[in-house]
Amino acid sequence: IHAIRIMFLTHLLYIFRVKRRKMADKVLPQRIRDLVPESQAYMDLLAFERKLDQTIARKRMEIQEAIKKPITQKRKLRIYISNTYTPGKPEGEEAEKVASWELRVEGKLLEDPGKQKRKFSSFFKSLVIELDKELYGPDNHLVEWHRMPTTQETDGFQVKRPGDVNVKCTLLLMLDHQPPQYKLDPRLARLLGVHTQTRASIMQALWLYIKNNKLQDCHEKEYINCNRYFRQIFGCPRMRFSDIPMKLASLLQHPEPIVINHIISVDPNDQKKTACFDIDVEVDDPLKAQMTSFLSSTTNQQEITALEIKIHETIESINQLKTQRDFMLSFSNSPQDFIQDWLKSQSRDLKLMTDTVGNPEEERRTEFYHSPWVKEAIGRYIFSKVQQRRQELEQVLGIRLT
């Protein structure tokens, strides 16, 4: 198991090194560029690739920052309110005996370029249909729908009730803002010029007002000196920046619902049984999905990694071919000098590999053995051999020779 683990870690280390190869590994050496002037085109491409990588990295960072903020666009949602009426039948006939009506509430985005249509209910947090209380009583005059974590989206809502007279109804639609939006206190709304907005946008508008009116304390930067409008709204002459979110919370309310009044008609001669209303909604910008897809896509990265490996292998092959060319060119220019130099090089390599001492080039000449130190070396060699044989005899005989 330990061996398998080592092999696995070694493989991971190899992959990491392959992916983390430096740009310098792809650069052609100057000696090759001098030999092949056309290789400058490759170096130009390499410089362009470096600039392109820097640009892409910068754009990726910009996109990552952009998708952290809500990217929305305003669209028109057309709401269709229609009803059908089924008259009652006399006794004995096969049909519903009691007259009834059915109300439908549906809608769609106008000029929606998206391939996937959003469900109508996905735009709302809640929907309440209030019927005539005198006709349906206090317990049956309200029809409510509220979004839950397990809610299944639908293309519309239907309400069916018995009745054979026109009914007044009121629809209360609460939009599902993402991120949530809040309605400001009227006094603060007039001061900031913001009616309903997200908490972040409200804080930004509040800071701009403080900055433009120079309400920040000159000496204690964490304090705000309230002007007469702030004193009326926040109820204090001075406050800390850190206290603003808490004080602002009491001045924020949920947005008011969209109110639509409608009459459910049971008159068979009434042709206008469908009413249309257009409301403004915010939908995700299609560009956001493309940006997210760009950041999460790894298809191009895998292809780039494969090409990087191929480039590195090609550069290594070019370097090896250049070494072989230099080898052959040196031999063709001067075969004798080349062979001598090559033998010297091989001799040095052999000496390093076998840990051989001395100088083989000098040892192969006869003059080397006529030097004054040779006689002394011979004596020492013979003495060491005699001592070696003596130790061997003492070990065999088990006695010490004197």
Give residue-wise pLDDT tens across range 251-265. 998 898 999 999 888
In angstroms, the Cα distances linking 337 to 173, 220, 324 are 97, 85, 17
Q: What pLDDT was estimated at residue 96?
A: 58
Q: Which CATH number does the domain housing residue 88 bear?
A: 2.60.40.1970
* 168 and 305 within one domain: no
Distance between CA atoms of residues 400 and 394, nearest Å: 6
* 266 and 232 within one domain: no
Distance between CA atoms of residues 271 and 274, nearest Å: 8
Q: What pLDDT was estimated at residue 308?
A: 86
Per the CB < 8 A criterion, the answer to whether 119 and 300 are in contact is no
Paired with 239 in beta bridges are: 224
- Asked, for residue 157, whether it belongs to a domain, the answer is yes
Pick 284 or 141 by higher pLDDT.
141
- Dump pLDDT digits (tens) for 207-226: 999 999 999 888 888 899 99
Query: Is it the case that residue 400 has pLDDT exceeding 60?
Result: yes
Query: Is it the case that residue 125 has pLDDT exceeding 50?
Result: yes
DSSP-derived letter for residue 118 is: P
- Asked, for residue 77, whether it belongs to a domain, the answer is yes
> Per the structure, how many domains does the chain have?
4
* 277 and 151 within one domain: yes
Q: What pLDDT was estimated at residue 130?
A: 92
- Asked, for residue 336, whether it belongs to a domain, the answer is no
- Asked, for residue 338, whether it belongs to a domain, the answer is no
* 60 and 12 within one domain: yes
Q: Which CATH number does the domain housing residue 218 bear?
A: 1.10.245.10
- Asked, for residue 165, whether it belongs to a domain, the answer is yes
Q: Which domain holds residue 206?
A: 197-253
Per the CB < 8 A criterion, the answer to whether 177 and 196 are in contact is no
* 310 and 171 within one domain: no
The helix or strand, by DSSP H or E, that contains position 63, with its residue range, turns out to be: helix 40-67
In angstroms, the Cα distances linking 348 to 324, 341, 365 are 20, 11, 17
Confidence of residue 110 (pLDDT cuts 50, 70, 90): confident
3-state helix, strand, coil in the chain (%, to 5): 50, 20, 25
Phi, psi of 258 (to 5 degrees): -80, 125
Query: Is it the case that residue 13 has pLDDT exceeding 60?
Result: no
Confidence of residue 93 (pLDDT cuts 50, 70, 90): low
Per the CB < 8 A criterion, the answer to whether 100 and 163 are in contact is yes
* 204 and 77 within one domain: no
* 23 and 92 within one domain: no
Distance between CA atoms of residues 231 and 252, nearest Å: 17
- Entry pTM: 0.57
Backbone φ/ψ region at 216: left (φ over 0), alpha (ψ -120 to 50), beta: beta
- Asked, for residue 330, whether it belongs to a domain, the answer is no
- Asked, for residue 192, whether it belongs to a domain, the answer is no
The strands making up 167-175's β-sheet, listed across from edge to edge, are 142-146, 124-130, 167-175, 258-264
Distance between CA atoms of residues 350 and 370, nearest Å: 26
The helix or strand, by DSSP H or E, that contains position 201, with its residue range, turns out to be: helix 199-212
Share of the chain above pLDDT 90, in %: 16
CA 295 distance to own-chain centroid? 5
Across residues 65-71, what is the average pLDDT? 74
Phi, psi of 206 (to 5 degrees): -65, -40
Q: What pLDDT was estimated at residue 158?
A: 92
Query: Is it the case that residue 80 has pLDDT exceeding 90?
Result: yes
* 374 and 348 within one domain: yes
